[in-house]
Amino acid sequence: MAIQKIKLDLGTVYQKEEGGIYYFRYQVNGARKAISLKTRNQKEANKQIPLLKATSAEIIAAHIKHARGLITPEKNLLLSEAWAIYERSPERATPDTVSEALAYRSTFEEFVNWIDDPGKTLRDITSQIADEYAQHMRTLNIAVSTHNQKLYY
């Protein structure tokens, strides 16, 4: 059996040696690059071909990083779990007083309660939902300064 080569629009899927691992070779800005497809099976290598048929070097780079495991998939964080994650984050805002920290938490919990959907994630919150919440806050009997503070926490 000869070494397998599969020519594509943007590169070639090939084996360096018979029965060896398949690789994808392509060129970006005149430089030749190759990545391992981590399989000795031609069918599995062929399944990865649609992922590799990209139209720009940027997309190819993203596929390569993903294939190499350099990018971890983003996780959908539930609103109900968001505050606990935020509190453990070293990048969180640090309020000046305990009461201010409690106000932040209270404001967030009011928003989560207003959403009233245990399965909703942070990624599901759109600018339209934020606008609806702002409109809802205008109907509450609270001072303008309190309203503004709650919007900007």
Q: Averaged in consecutive runs of 10 residues, what is the pLDDT profile of the chain (153 residues)?
A: 61 86 79 84 80 62 72 79 89 84 87 90 90 86 69 60
55 shares its domain with 105: no
Burial of 86-99, coded b for 16+ CB within 10 Å and e otherwise, reads eeeeeeeeeeeeee
CB 11 within 8 A of CB 24: yes
Q: Which residues pair with 28 in a beta bridge?
A: 31
Q: Supply the DSSP symbol for 75.
A: P
The tally of domains found in the chain comes to: 2
Q: Which residues pair with 78 in a beta bridge?
A: 121
Does 74 map to a domain?
A: no
Alpha-carbon separation of residue 81 from 72, 112, 118, 127 (angstroms): 20, 10, 10, 21
Number of residues that make up the chain: 153
Does 34 map to a domain?
A: yes
* Boundary-marking domain end, from 15, 36, 67: 67
Q: Hey, what amino acid is at 27?
A: Q
* Boundary-marking domain end, from 46, 67, 88: 67
pLDDT score of 57: 64
Does 14 map to a domain?
A: yes
100 shares its domain with 136: yes
Does 85 map to a domain?
A: yes
Does 73 map to a domain?
A: no
CA-to-CA distance for 9 and 53, rounded, in angstroms?
7
62 shares its domain with 83: no
55 shares its domain with 19: yes
- Please name the residue ranges forming H helices in the chain: 42-47, 49-52, 57-67, 79-88, 98-115, 127-138, 144-152
Residue 17 domain boundaries: 5-67
* Boundary-marking domain end, from 67, 89, 106: 67
Does 109 map to a domain?
A: yes
